[in-house]
Structure 1
Amino acid sequence: MKSYKVVIWKLSVNRSAKKPTHLVRWSVDGEPFHESHRTKALADRFRAKLLRAADKGEAFDTVTGLPDSLRGGKVALSFVELAVKYVDARWAEASAKQRDSMTDALSTVLAVPVKAARGRPAPTVLRRAARSYLLPPPRRERERPKEIAAALTWLSKASLPVAELSEGSRAQDLVDALTRRLDDKPAATQTYRRRRAVVFNVLQYAVELGALNANPLSQVRRKRGKRAVQEVDRRVVVNPRQARELLTALTYVGGYDRASGRRLRAFFGCLYYAAMRPGEALGLRRSDCTLPEKGWGRIELAETRPTGGKAWTDSGEAHDRRGLKQREAGEVRTVPIPPPLVRLLLDHVKEFGTADDGRLFSSERGNVIAASSYSRVWKQARELALLPHQVDSVMAARPYDLRHAGVSQWLNSGVPAPEVAARAGHSVDVLLKIYAKCIDGQEAEMNDRIMQGLGEDDGMP
C-alpha cells in the first residue's frame, strides 16, 4: 500500500549503544520507521532524500516506509503485491481447478513473510480474506465485511518485501507453512506438493520481474516423509463380471420410477468401456459418437466438463468447460468403443434424448449432472451389486474406479501399452507407472500358471 501521509522528524542520537548512532525517524500513514547511521552527515543525507521525495509528492510505501525512488522499484515489491500480480497474469488461461489450487496455496502462505505488527487477525480470517476477496480478480470489488477489510489492511502493511525472501530462514518458513493445515496438523503429501509447486512458480515469477535474483525455494528441502502412493490400489479394480453387474444394478436404483439410475447407466458405461474421465463423459455429445447398429463404434472426445466450483469458473457455473486434459486446445482423442457400450448409448438416446446443446448426459432439467448426484446413485448400485464384504471395502468405491478397471482390463487383455495410453489419454510412462495391471479375481489363475511353471500340481503331499 502507498500513502502520502508522511511525517519526518529531526535527527536524534542513540546514546544507548557503545558507539552512539544518529537516527532518522519518520512515519508513513501513522506507522513509525527509523534508520540508524554511524555519522551525522550520513544520517542528514538520508533524511534529505526523504524530504526531497516528500516535496516531490512521491507516495511512500507503508511496508518499507520508503518512497519508490529509494526502494529500488521492482525489488521492493511486497509478497502480497507479488501474489496479486501473479494471479492476474495467470487467471485468464487457468482452468477452474487451477484457479482453486492457486488461491488455496497462496492464501496458505501470504501471512508468513510479515514483519512484527500488532493486531494480527486470526489465521482463518486471514485465509478467508485472501482466498475470497483479495486474490480472485472477479471478487476484489465485492463489499468487504469489517473484519475482512481490517485483515487485508493489516496484511498489506505487514507483508515483507519479496527481496527479503532470499534469506534462507524466510524461505524455510514458507515451506513449513505449506506442510501444515489450518489446525496445525500435517498436510497430506500430495497437498504439500501441489501447494509448493504454486509457490515455487510465484517466486520464479518474481525472478522474471527482477524482484529476486534466484528462486529461494530451490535451496530449501522438506524433511522426507512417507512417499505418496501413486500406483492405483488393485483392490479398487473390478473384473468384467462385476462391472456388468454394477451397470445392471443401476437400472434398479434411483427415484420412484428409477429413471435416475437408468439415466446414468450409459454414463458409467463410458467410464468403464471407454476408460473416460467423468468430466469427459459429462461433455460428450451425440455428434461426437459413431454408433452403428452392429459392431464397434467410435467416440471423438474434444471437450471436458470437470467440476470446478462456481467461484472459479468464468461462467459462474459449477462445471468448467475445457479441452482435453494435458492436450492443446482443439485436440481430439479417438476412442474405439465395444458393442456393449454402443448398445448402452443407443438405448440411452432412445429413452432420454439429448440436452439442448447435444450433450448425451444431463439432469432432467438439462443441466450438467453434479458429481454429488452421480456419486449418490453409484453408492446405491454398489449396495445392490456387490457382496456385503465388498460393499464395505474399497472396491469400485468411486465412479472414477471404473476408469481404472477399464484400463486394467485392456492391459490384461494384451493390448499394447502405447495403444492403451492413446485411448485413455495418458503418456505411456504415466500409464505404466500408476495403473493397475491385475484385475480382481485373477489371483487363482495366476497361481495356477505359477504352479504349472514349477511343474507341480496344487495337491497336498
Structure 2
Amino acid sequence: MNTSYKVKFWEIRPNKSAVKSGKTISYTVRWTVAGREKSKTYEKSAQAKNWLSDLRQAAKNGEPFDIETGLPVSMLKAKEARTVFDFVRAYIDMKWPHAASKSRDSMSDALATVLPALTKDMPGRPDAQTLRRALRKYALLPEDRRPPVPLDMTKALRWLESASLSVQDLNETKVLRPALDALTLCLDGSKAGANTIKRKRAVLHHVLEYAVELEELPSNPLHRVKWSPPKTTETVDPRVVVNPRQARELLTAVTYVGKRGNGRRGRGQRLMAMFACMYFAALRPAEAISLRRDDCHLPAKGWGRLTLDVSRPEVNRQWTDTGDAHEERGLKHRGANDVRVVPIPPELVKILRQHIADFGVGEDGRLFRSERGGVVASTAYTEVWQEARTLALTPAQVASSLARRPYDLRHAAVSLWLNGGVPAPEVANRAGHGVDVLLRVYAKCVDGQEEIVNQRIEDALVA
C-alpha cells in the first residue's frame, strides 16, 4: 500500500440540473492525495458534509491516506472488513482519535450490546457477561490500546470472529431486529431505560451510515425496520427540586460531614463551596470541579462573576488519552474555545472568598481538591452529599427523590431563575443550554402556571 500525508481538500461543490430552474441535484466532495484528485458525489448536502468531515478529521489526526483509493487507512480497513465484527473495530479506529472520552465509553457500551446479536447460531457461544467483558475490555479498543488478552477472553473473541455475520447480511432488515431488541434489555434481562435505548440506537445508526458512506451498503437498513423505541423523558422531575431554604440547610449540613475534633476540617467543609456553585450558579459537577481562581471575580461587595471555559467529566481511564479519570475538555455543547460567563450573587461570592481563605488553591489554580490535592472523584462528593441529606432532611424526604443527586442542585437553580421571572434566553445563557432545550427540560418545574391558566379559564366561563 502506497500512502501519503500530502492531502488537500476543496469546499463541497453543488451540482445544478441542466433545466432552467437550476435546482441542485447532487453534491460533490473533492480532495487530492499526493496530487491525485479524488471525488465522491452524494444526493444530499448532509451526506457530503459528513464525508468531508470524516476525511478532514483523519488528516487532522495525522493518518496516512492511501494514494490509490484516496482513503485514510482507517477507512480502508473498514472497506476491507468482511464481517460486522471487523467492520465495527475499524469504525472504532476511525472514530476514536476525535471522540471525547465519554463518547468513546458510550460508543463501546452500545456496540458491546448489539454485536452479540449480530451473529450466527454456532456452538460454543460464551455467556452474555463473558462476551460483554471481552468486547468492552479488549476488542472495542484501538489496536494499540488493547491490553494482553487472557485465555478465556481469547476464546470468546475467536467465537465472535467466526460467528459474526457478514456486512452484506445487514441489508436484510430481519437481521437487525434482534440487535434492536437487544438494546431494550440490560445484561440481567431487565428493561433498559428509554434514554439508554435511544443513545445506543443512535450509535448503531451511525455505524450503518458509515457503511453507506463507504458504499458497503446501498442504504441504511434501519430506515426500513418498523421498530419504535420507547418514548424518552427529557423533562426534569419537579420532585427533585429543593427550595432556597432546603438548599441552604443542605449546604450547612455538608459542612458537618466528616467533621473532626481539634479544629481539623472534615471532607464536607472542603466541598461545601463546590456544592454552592452548583446551586447558586447552576454549574455542572464537571464544571465546578474545574473552577480556578483566575475564573472568579469575587469583589468585597455586590455580585461577582465566573468565567467558565473548561470541564472535567469523569470516565473510566481506559477511554481517555491521558490515562486520567478526569480528562480536561471544553464546555458541554460549546465550541472548543468558547466561554460561559455566569454572574453570581453576593452570597456565593462570600462563600468562595471564605473557601479560598480556608483552603487556598492548587498549583494549577483549582479551588476544589481532595485532601491529597487531586481531582475530587464523583464517588467522594456523592458520599458526602448522601450523608448531608440524612442530616438536613426528614426521613420521608431522604427516602424520596428530593435532591437525591448533587446534579439536582443545578436543576433547582435553573428552576428558581425561571420561576423568578428571569427571561428564558438569559437563563439558558447562564446555564449553558439552548433556549428550546431549556424550556423543554424544565417545563414541569415552572411553578404557578396552572393557577394562572385556571383563573383565565374561569374568567372566560363567567364572561
For the aligned pair, the TM-score class normalised by the smaller chain equals: 0.7 to 0.9
Correspondence for 2:233 among 206, 229, 240:
229
CA contact (8 A) 1:355 1:362 kept: yes
Write out aligned runs for 1:55-454 (5 A). 74=79, 77-137=82-142, 141-223=146-228, 225=230, 227-256=231-260, 257-435=264-442, 438=445
Quickly say closer, same or farther: Cα 1:355–1:278, change in 2 above 3 A.
same
Quickly say closer, same or farther: Cα 1:344–1:120, change in 2 above 3 A.
same
CA contact (8 A) 1:335 1:423 kept: yes
Amino acid at match of 1:421: A
Question: Quick one: distance in 2 between partners of 1:363 and 1:223?
Answer: 45
- Give the aligned partner of residue 60 of structure 2: none
Per the normalisation by structure 1, the TM-score is 0.78
The alignment partner of 1:181 has SS state of coil
Quickly say closer, same or farther: Cα 1:116–1:248, change in 2 above 3 A.
closer
Amino acid at match of 2:352: L
Question: Quick one: distance in 1 between partners of 2:266 and 2:244?
Answer: 24
Q: Cα offset for 1:162?
A: 0.7
Question: Quick one: distance in 1 between partners of 2:102 and 2:248?
Answer: 32
Quickly say closer, same or farther: Cα 1:293–1:436, change in 2 above 3 A.
farther
Q: Cα offset for 1:424?
A: 0.3
- Give the aligned partner of residue 6 of structure 1: none
Larger radius of gyration: 1
Q: Cα offset for 1:286?
A: 0.5
Moved over 3 A (4+): 73-76, 138-141, 436-439, 445-455
Query: Unpaired segments of 5 or more residues in structure 1?
Result: 1-72, 456-461
How much is the aligned-residue C-alpha RMSD, in angstroms?
2.3
- Judge which range, 405-414 or 377-386, deviates more: 377-386
Query: Unpaired segments of 5 or more residues in structure 2?
Result: 1-77
CA contact (8 A) 2:281 2:413 kept: yes
Q: Cα offset for 1:313?
A: 1.3
CA contact (8 A) 2:194 2:233 kept: no
CA contact (8 A) 1:307 1:319 kept: yes
User: Could you tell me the percent identity over the aligned residues?
Assistant: 52
CA contact (8 A) 1:284 1:360 kept: yes
Amino acid at match of 1:340: E
Write out aligned runs for 1:5-44 (5 A). none
The alignment partner of 1:335 has SS state of strand
Deviations 1:194-240 (A, max 9, x none): 11111110111111111111111122233454x22221111111111
Quickly say closer, same or farther: Cα 1:141–1:239, change in 2 above 3 A.
closer
Q: Cα offset for 1:450?
A: 6.7
- Judge which range, 425-434 or 166-175, deviates more: 166-175
Per the normalisation by structure 2, the TM-score is 0.77
Deviations 1:151-186 (A, max 9, x none): 111211221211111111112122122122223332
Question: Quick one: distance in 2 between partners of 1:126 and 1:361?
Answer: 40
Question: Quick one: distance in 1 between partners of 2:389 and 2:188?
Answer: 35
